[in-house]
Structure 1
């Protein structure tokens, strides 16, 4: 997996973890000024979407959400970086042994409901899509970096196994919570880089800028919101979840749901 450094300056609309919330995604795109064009969405002023990964799992329309993003990327209406849930689906489709939990059971159920031909087509298309995706994006001559879970300043411009794990899973300690979730350090607290880092992965109630970083995963699938950050304007645009699609008692996700 490579990185992608572009001279594109935007303007961009960066969208956090979709997690199968297609209805909310469609509403957010329209709120941002995008219009449906065939199987894709385009903006009349040439703005481009950046998706921060974790397209499926947890929400009600996982495969359709993944399909829409693939279509937008193929038509150059959007950019994409993968998340840990995308990586897990990729390994599942390759036939690897993965644990089908933490919301993945919804994507797998949709996949298993397809006929054999549809399964083969989806598998081939998603595997290619994932393998050709950059681990993170460097944009606007280095002023903007988009990534799923985060990245340290001294990692930008490099790729290795440690950096790949950081970008997909965050700054993990190797320990897990009683619910089996990895414990992560707050890497953003100590970030001092020049590039604005826009990321997701860890659901929060409301995005705030911290040390030139911002987490825009506001837990739509857990009853929160789906959030977009307009760049370079640094404006937030949000739509609320239609319902709680996924929760797990005792987890941070459950706490997020209880506060909304």
Structure 2
């Protein structure tokens, strides 16, 4: 039987329902390469570095049968965004990881392309870290991010991963509205008292059968809310880097090595949108 949203001959890049896993879904890394290596080690992955500055090579061996998934926001705020990208790009190239982009990643690509963007919210740090990087590596990074799907639909439709989340009716779709939701979640278009975009807690209203794993809004601990779970536990802010093992639903975390960026807004889920019923 053919799915109503995808034909067998023209499945979208987000559709990986034929991949049952198992997976290790890792929250917002934000340039925290040391913590990423520690977490991968705890999950059973082996990261090996070789080469010299300007010609660094990374090789990653995964536990038998497993694949990592990164929920985006790989860059900004942390101390080693280029090395984070080296590890994750190598993993995707070697077939041991998937990744979706976050809003910080998309903004970083615009900066790499020479477009006018404000170097705020940690982009200034990433830009400084890339000053000494070869042009070839910059080009590889652009190609990498530009080739990523904005969400992943996996395990027979039982699992979906998107940076800021996704709603049931969006699965199988590839519109501009879906892209915006995957990157930014549900927003009001206004800013709060901290000068940050106002977000709403879309997951509190979620009633879908597909489990949604996302990041974007740092929370103290990864907990399930209506068959959704946020795995951004604020590593760059001195929190933790967290992974969800699927289908085991086991949480694995490592503590941050330090506070790389002082958080402006307290950790926690955003409020419900006006008029919403949880």
Of the candidates 121, 144, 169, which is equivalent to residue 154 of structure 1?
169
RMSD: 1.4
Question: How far is 1:71 from its partner?
Answer: 0.9
Gaps of 5+ in 1: 255-260
1:56–1:65 Cα contact (<8 Å) kept: yes
Match of 1:18 among 23, 29, 34: 29
Q: How far apart are 1:160 and its partner, in Å?
A: 1.3
What secondary structure sits across from 2:116 in the alignment? coil
Where does residue 204 of structure 1 map in the other structure? Answer: 219
Q: What TM-score does the superposition give when structure 1 sets the normalisation length?
A: 0.92
Aligned length: 248
Q: Which secondary structure state, in structure 1, belongs to the residue aligned with residue 183 of structure 2?
A: helix
Q: SS in structure 2 opposite 1:112?
A: coil
CA distance in 1, matches of 2:217, 2:110: 22
Determine helix, strand or coil for the equivalent of 1:137: strand
Instruction: Tell me which residue corresponds to 1:251.
Output: 265
Kindly provide the CA deviation profile for residues 203-260 of structure 1, in whole angstroms up to 9, marking residues without a partner as x: 0001111110000000000000000000000000000001100014x52269xxxxxx
Counterpart position of 2:6 = none
Task: Specify the alignment match of 1:125 in structure 2.
Answer: 140
Structure 2 counterpart SS, 1:252: coil
For normalisation by structure 2, the TM-score amounts to 0.86
Aligned match of 1:194 in 184, 209, 212?
209
Which whole-Å CA distance do the structure 2 matches of 1:194 and 1:100 have between them? 39
SS of alignment partner, residue 164 of structure 1: helix
SS at match of 1:202: coil
Cα shift at 1:185: 1.1
1:168 paired with 2:183, answer yes
Deviation at 1:123, TM superposition (A): 2.2
SS at match of 2:243: strand
- Match for residue 4 of structure 1 among 10, 14, 19: 14
Partner of 2:130: 111
Higher helix share: 1
